[in-house]
């Protein structure tokens, strides 16, 4: 009694084997599969091998059913072992090659030739190139080659990709030409395409396809995702939402997808039935499919779809007619209700699937865009970190900046990417610790962000008291004045992250910011006038004043050209506190000014208070 | 000399004859063949029987038909074809002749060779 309680429960599965539904222990099923596989190899050269194996399978199924009829709950490993022994293993065939006269009359129902293992024949079979269905990623070509030459499959895959490139055509040829190591899966159930709703992410299409082709599901999901990613990374020149009118139609059904993948996905979603019953599920994983048989099956499925579509059509007609009839007859609405349900169901299904697909499409685009944006921010923020000494105070503020970048930006990126990969790879269990760990770190990131933001805000909180200085021009009476930057020495330019857009490295401890505004007003006199206001922020007014006074900005005139400094020098001790300069140029009536904006992209130029933010390379103004 | 090999050669020779003989008596199910042979103290594995049957069928000696069973899918029953019956008759004739010959040879009788050996001593 007690023993029963502690008996280990073995996992029992239902298989459809030669037209019989058999409850069988998982291990027993594995053994059975292995056995059939060994027969298949043994009879490889035999003329009617499929028939032989089919006969033997039938017999096995029959013997299994006998066991069940005698009251067994399921087929155990022991049962399978006895059945296999009675029918004989390939090793036994070879040892006996026929029948044997029994020396002592056995009382067992099963003959006693268990002495030989089933391994001998394995070694003597001739070496041939097979596609290895057991270790495949796509068609098993690479692992087959690896098997043939006794190499590591991973090595062959890497070599395949790097030496030949992703040679898709060659791969396909080998896929078709090289025979599979297991042409048919046990049982010979016809395989059909279903949507696998148990393993679904959206509609179960990818999971169903992976079952059908026996390919890992993440590969198919990635194939479907590629267009999304491409679409998002092509956004550079596409203004947001403009893409709605501009999907590239010539490429619509490109094999590398483009928006076509969404289209294909929706079609498959509509066409493929869900795997609902256990029979469906068996059929879903049924027999192995070769490239050749794929076409037929898809055709069949499509025919099925057209039939179903016709079905909907006739449903529609029926509904119309019955409605018509009930209008005239004034009642008798009992029997058409079923049909009405049908059509409502189908129409509803189309609508819901379309809406769902649309929503997932938009969510996908938005999600991947956000992720890409976040990633961009992360990269930019990290890249700018070497410049922090010009901006951040040492100590808490710097640490908060680091914390914000790592915890607030990178942690969610890693978390989301991890989650996507887990989802694609089909992990069902979520690891609570990892998940809550990510959330906890991100919350800390928020704290960091707030601290950093307020701390930095505080550093910029006060303005200096502006003082306008007049710059004496050597020759203020010229008719034409050109404003340009001082020709400068070469400076280090880091194009990669485009830091140089607003920052130049002077020396190790100095950067230049081109924080300059030029106002152009009408001069009251008949000569040019230049005035400069130096401005800065700071934690206190005193700090802001001192920073503003430290701004060293040279303006010099040679003939009709005014040279300006390349930027405002900022050293690591003083930090950047939005030091900037407003330069007012008063132009007399009837005279002309030119501002050459080369290298001054950050400069704002306003004319009589009307701002112009365009980065003009040349600007002529006549008064 | 490899006794086992000789044994298996001998068995192999009569195997097809035995199977044809059983089928010749009437339509049978393969596992019945196994049973009948076991009753005659001859053991054959089903795993060896099926390929043999297929071979014989492909050679045109046998045919099969599907017989509905009480439970489960129909079962394959094997019957003789005309060619099979002819072949069986040839084999039976050969067997009878062989049985007589072998019987004559192995029946103990005065052996002159032994006597010579004895005489030499």
pLDDT category of residue A604 using cuts at 50, 70 and 90 = low
Please write the tens of the pLDDT for every residue from A125-157. Answer: 455 667 766 667 777 777 777 777 777 777 777
Mean pLDDT, range A488-497, rounded to an integer? 43
User: What's the structural domain count of chain B?
Assistant: 1
- Cβ A579 vs Cβ A502: under 8 Å: no
Nearest chain A alpha carbon to B30? A59
**A102 contacts B42? CB cut-off 8 A:** yes
Q: In this predicted model, which residue has the larger pLDDT, A460 or A303?
A: A460
pLDDT of residue B4: 76
Band of pLDDT at residue A340, cut at 50, 70 and 90: low
Contact B31 A18 (CB under 8 A): no
What 3-state class would DSSP assign to A480? strand
| CA-based nearest residue to A266, from A224, A319, A212, A215 | A224
Residue B85 Cα, gap to closest chain A Cα (Å)? 22
How wide is the angle at C-alpha A183 spanned by C-alphas A180 and A184, nearest 5°?
A: 150
Chain B's closest residue to A110, CA to CA, is B45
Q: What does the block give as tokens for A67?
A: 């066991």
Q: Closest Cα partner for A227 from A259, A187, A198?
A: A259
B31 touches chain A (CB under 8 A): yes
CB A271, CB A301: distance < 8 Å: yes
A285 has pLDDT over 60:
yes
Give the model's pLDDT for residue A164.
58
Contact A264, A255 (CB under 8 A): no
Instruction: Compute the half-sphere exposure of residue A356: CA atoms within 13 Å on the CB side of its CA.
Output: 15
Residue in chain A closest to B4 (alpha carbons) equals A96
Most confident of A103-107, A372-376, A502-506: A372-376
DSSP secondary-structure letter at A409? I
Q: Does B24 touch chain A (CB under 8 A)?
A: no
Facing residue for B45 by CB, picked from A19, A43, A87:
A87
Which parts of chain B sit beneath pLDDT 50?
A: 117, 119-121
Chains A and B form CB pairs within 8 A to the count of: 93
pTM beyond 0.95: no
**Collapsing DSSP states into helix, strand and coil, what is residue A157?**
helix
Q: Across-strand partners of A480?
A: A592
Q: Are strands A480-485 and A529-535 parallel, antiparallel or unpaired?
A: unpaired
Query: Between chains, do B55 and A48 touch, taking CB under 8 Å as contact?
Result: yes
Query: CB–CB of A114/A163 below 8 Å?
Result: no
Residue A443 in this model has a pLDDT that exceeds 90: yes
Region A95-114: what's the mean pLDDT?
A: 40
B112 in reach of chain A (CB within 8 A): no
Question: pLDDT tier at A305 (50, 70, 90 boundaries)?
Answer: low
**Which of A73-87, A173-187, A605-619, B26-40 has the least mean pLDDT?**
A605-619
Contacts of B57 in chain A (CB under 8 A): 48
> CA-to-CA distance for B86 and B96, rounded, in angstroms?
15
pLDDT at A11 over 60: yes
**Domain of B112?**
3-120
Q: Does pLDDT of A502 surpass 60?
A: no
State the SS3 of A204-230: CHHHHHHHHHCCCHHHHHHHHHHHHHH
Which of A77-81, A127-131, A184-188 is predicted with the least confidence, judged by mean pLDDT? A184-188
User: Is the Cβ of A89 closer than 8 Å to some Cβ of chain B?
Assistant: yes
CATH (domain of B114): 1.10.10.10
The DSSP letter of residue A199 is: G
Structural domain spans, chain A: 10-97+109-125, 127-183, 188-289, 371-459, 462-622
Pure H helices in A404-522: 411-425, 432-459
Look at residue A149 in the predicted model and tell me its pLDDT: 76
B contacts of A39 (beta carbons < 8 Å)? 47
Count of H-run helices and E-run strands, chain B: 5, 3
Chain A residues within 8 A of B37 when measuring between CB atoms: 99
Give pLDDT, residue A444.
92
Coil vs helix vs strand at A535? strand
Mean pLDDT of A279-290: 59
CA distance A170 to A611: 62
- Look at residue A252 in the predicted model and tell me its pLDDT: 35
- Residue A343 DSSP class: H
pLDDT in tens, A360-399: 878 877 887 888 888 888 888 877 777 777 788 878 888 8
Q: Is B53 on the interface with A (CB under 8 A)?
A: yes
- For residue A242, pLDDT over 50 is answered with no
- Is the CB of A99 less than 8 angstroms away from the CB of B44? yes
Quick count: other Cβ atoms within 10 Å of Cβ A438?
Answer: 17
Contacting residues of A for B30, CB less than 8 Å apart: 55, 59
Distance from CA of A156 to the nearest CA of B (A): 38
Closest residue to B51, CB basis, from A52, A99, A100: A52
B46 and A87 within 8 Å at the Cβ level: the answer is yes
- Inform me whether the C-beta atom of residue A507 falls under 8 Å from chain B C-beta atoms: no
Q: Nearest CA of chain A to the CA of B93: how many Å?
A: 22
> CB-based contact (8 Å) between B48 and chain A?
yes
């Amino acid at each position: 009694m007690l023993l029963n309680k502690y008996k280990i429960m073995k996992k029992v599965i239902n298989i459809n084997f030669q037209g019989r539904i058999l409850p069988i222990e998982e291990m027993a099923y594995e053994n059975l599969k292995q056995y059939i596989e060994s027969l298949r190899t043994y009879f490889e050269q035999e003329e009617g091998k499929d028939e032989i194996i089919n006969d033997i399978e039938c017999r096995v199924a029959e013997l299994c059913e006998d066991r069940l009829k005698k009251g067994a709950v399921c087929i155990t490993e022991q049962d399978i072992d006895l059945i296999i022994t009675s029918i004989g293993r390939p090793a036994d065939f070879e040892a006996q090659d026929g029948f044997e006269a029994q020396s002592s009359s056995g009382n067992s129902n099963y003959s006693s030739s268990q002495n030989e293992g089933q391994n001998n024949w394995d070694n003597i079979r001739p070496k041939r190139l097979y596609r290895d269905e057991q270790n495949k990623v796509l068609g098993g070509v690479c692992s087959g080659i690896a098997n043939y030459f006794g190499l590591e499959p991973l090595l062959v895959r890497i070599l395949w990709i790097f030496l030949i490139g992703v040679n898709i055509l060659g791969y396909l040829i080998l896929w078709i030409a090289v025979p599979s190591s297991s042409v048919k899966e046990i049982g010979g159930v016809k395989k059909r395409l279903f949507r696998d709703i148990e393993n679904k992410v959206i509609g179960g299409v990818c999971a169903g396809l992976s079952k059908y082709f026996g390919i890992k599901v993440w590969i198919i999901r990635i194939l479907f995702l590629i267009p999304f990613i491409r679409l998002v990374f092509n956004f550079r020149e596409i203004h947001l939402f403009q893409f709605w009118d501009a999907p590239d139609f010539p490429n619509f059904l490109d094999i590398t997808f483009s928006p076509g993948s969404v289209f294909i996905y929706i079609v498959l979603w509509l066409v493929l039935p869900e795997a609902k019953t256990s029979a469906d599920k068996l059929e879903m994983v049924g027999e192995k499919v070769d490239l050749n048989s794929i076409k037929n099956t898809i055709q069949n499925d499509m025919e099925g779809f057209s039939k179903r579509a016709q079905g909907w059509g006739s449903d529609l007609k029926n509904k119309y007619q019955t409605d018509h009839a009930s209008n005239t007859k004034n009642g008798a609405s009992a029997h058409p209700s079923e049909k009405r349900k049908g059509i409502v169901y189908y129409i509803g299904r189309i609508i819901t699937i379309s809406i769902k697909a649309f929503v997932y499409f938009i969510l996908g685009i938005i999600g991947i865009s956000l992720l890409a944006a976040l990633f961009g921010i992360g990269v930019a923020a990290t890249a700018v970190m070497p410049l922090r000494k010009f901006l951040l105070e040492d100590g808490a503020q710097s640490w908060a900046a680091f914390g914000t970048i790592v915890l607030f930006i990178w942690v969610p990126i890693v978390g989301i990417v991890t989650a996507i990969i887990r989802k694609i790879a089909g992990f069902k269990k979520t690891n609570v610790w990892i998940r809550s760990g990510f959330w906890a770190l991100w919350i800390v990131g928020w704290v960091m962000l707030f601290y950093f933001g307020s701390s930095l805000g505080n550093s910029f909180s006060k303005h200096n008291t502006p003082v306008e200085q007049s710059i004496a021009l050597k020759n203020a009476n010229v008719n034409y004045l050109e404003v340009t930057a001082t020709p400068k020495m070469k400076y280090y330019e880091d194009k990669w992250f485009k830091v140089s857009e607003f920052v130049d490295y002077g020396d190790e401890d100095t950067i230049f910011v081109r924080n300059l505004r030029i106002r152009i007003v009408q001069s009251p006199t008949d000569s040019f006038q230049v005035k400069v206001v130096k401005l800065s922020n700071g934690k206190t007014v005193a700090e802001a004043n001192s920073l503003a006074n430290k701004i060293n900005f040279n303006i010099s005139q040679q003939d009709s050209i005014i040279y300006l400094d390349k930027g405002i020098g900022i050293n690591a001790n003083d930090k950047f506190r939005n030091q900037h300069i407003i330069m007012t140029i008063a132009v007399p009536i009837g005279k002309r000014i030119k501002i050459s904006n080369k290298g001054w992209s950050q400069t704002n130029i306003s004319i009589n208070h009307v701002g112009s933010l365009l980065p003009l390379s040349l600007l002529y103004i006549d008064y | 000399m490899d006794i086992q090999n000789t044994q298996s050669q001998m068995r192999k020779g009569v195997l097809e004859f035995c199977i044809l003989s059983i089928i010749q008596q009437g339509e049978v199910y393969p596992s019945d063949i196994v049973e009948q042979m076991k009753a005659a103290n001859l053991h054959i594995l089903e795993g060896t029987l099926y390929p043999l049957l297929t071979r014989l069928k492909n050679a045109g000696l046998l045919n099969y038909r599907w017989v509905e069973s009480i439970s489960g899918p129909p079962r394959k029953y094997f019957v003789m074809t005309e060619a099979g019956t002819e072949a069986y008759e040839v084999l039976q004739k050969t067997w009878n002749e062989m049985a007589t010959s072998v019987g004559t040879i192995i029946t103990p009788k005065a052996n002159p060779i032994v006597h010579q050996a004895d005489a030499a001593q």
